[in-house]
Amino acid sequence: MSAMARSNPLRDPQQYNERFKVQIYIHEPCGLIFPDVTGVGREMLGLCFLLDLLIKSEVIQMQNQRNGSSDESPSESETFRKEAGQVIKKMKTTLQFLPKPVPELEDYLDSQGLSLFFPRVEVFLIHGHPIEMLEKPAIDGHFEHICKLNQLLVLSQLLQDHVQDNNQHKYIALCIALLYRALQQFPDSILLNSYCRDIEANFSTINSSLQQEANSTAKPVLPEEHVSWLCKMTGGLLRTVRSLPYELSDGLSPAIAAVLPFSDHSGAFSRRADAK
């Protein structure tokens, strides 16, 4: 042991050099890079959306605690603290791709107008805990509007699939009723109101044609003329929703305004807004 202690080491350890640091992206999408300032902006926009949803959900949970029988004052959950902390950490890491000097997180959100679209995020960064907003942020309706549009797409496609399968014809009347209710969520849409009237004119006949007689074991099958009408109606509805006419995109305006500065197609969006 004494001889080993007196001998020279085989290798001298080198001082750590940050250039050789390997970035860990195991939880990130493939090919995630921030080549420019716009790329950083897109990533920050997505993180703001994510953090805003986390805060909104946690505020609802805290309200439920407050309305419950517990006398304890509501506090944020450990899960929320962990998830929100991860998002904020990712935000700060993303800012490191900006040119030096790197701005503080709050300053960056203010300079890019993101604090205006995501006031919950701004308040959370200042106070450190989720706070109920007295005034509903304009961007809150974005996901609700997307869900309504998605309902129309899913139900229309489901009806088209059921028409092709005789074993599913017994569910067609129910799907049409659900589609009608989804259409009624857009009472101010002239385009969608025409589909409502079309369903009102044909639903009773279709429902009657699918009614089974007592003790009958035969599966109900929709008559060919109704199949043709249903395919035409759902096909037109799918094309209408996917084209996103102005009257169906109003609910997306706040989100489009937030995305616009970070979009490669900002010129196209601007022309569309001007035309409107």
Give the pLDDT band of residue 70 (cuts 50, 70, 90). low
CA dihedral 179, 183, 184, 190 (to 10 degrees): -150
Render pLDDT for 182-206 as a digit per residue (tens, 0 to 9). Answer: 999 999 889 999 999 999 999 999 9
Q: Which region among 6-15, 37-46, 125-134, 136-145 has the lowest average model confidence (pLDDT)?
A: 6-15
Give the pLDDT band of residue 3 (cuts 50, 70, 90). low
Please enumerate in sequence order all residues whose Cβ is within 8 A of that of 52, keeping only pairs 6 or more positions apart, or say none.
118, 120, 121, 137, 139
- The b-or-e profile of 1-10 (16+ CB within 10 A means b, else e) is eeeeeeeeee
Q: Average pLDDT for residues 61-70, to the nearest whole number? A: 75
State the CB neighbour count (10 A cutoff) for residue 33: 10
Please enumerate in sequence order all residues whose Cβ is within 8 A of that of 73, keeping only pairs 6 or more positions apart, or say none.
66
Q: Which pLDDT score, from 0 to 100, does residue 266 have?
A: 45
Longest dimension (CA), the chain: 101
Render pLDDT for 24-42 as a digit per residue (tens, 0 to 9). Answer: 766 666 655 556 788 888 8
State the CB neighbour count (10 A cutoff) for residue 71: 5
Q: Which pLDDT score, from 0 to 100, does residue 271 have?
A: 40
Q: Which pLDDT score, from 0 to 100, does residue 269 have?
A: 37
Q: Average pLDDT for residues 168-181, to the nearest whole number? A: 94
Q: Which pLDDT score, from 0 to 100, does residue 159 have?
A: 95
State the pTM of this model: 0.66
250 or 92, greater pLDDT? 92
Q: Is the pLDDT of residue 22 over 80?
A: no
Q: Which pLDDT score, from 0 to 100, does residue 273 have?
A: 42
Q: Average pLDDT for residues 113-134, to the nearest whole number? A: 87
Q: Which pLDDT score, from 0 to 100, does residue 250 have?
A: 77
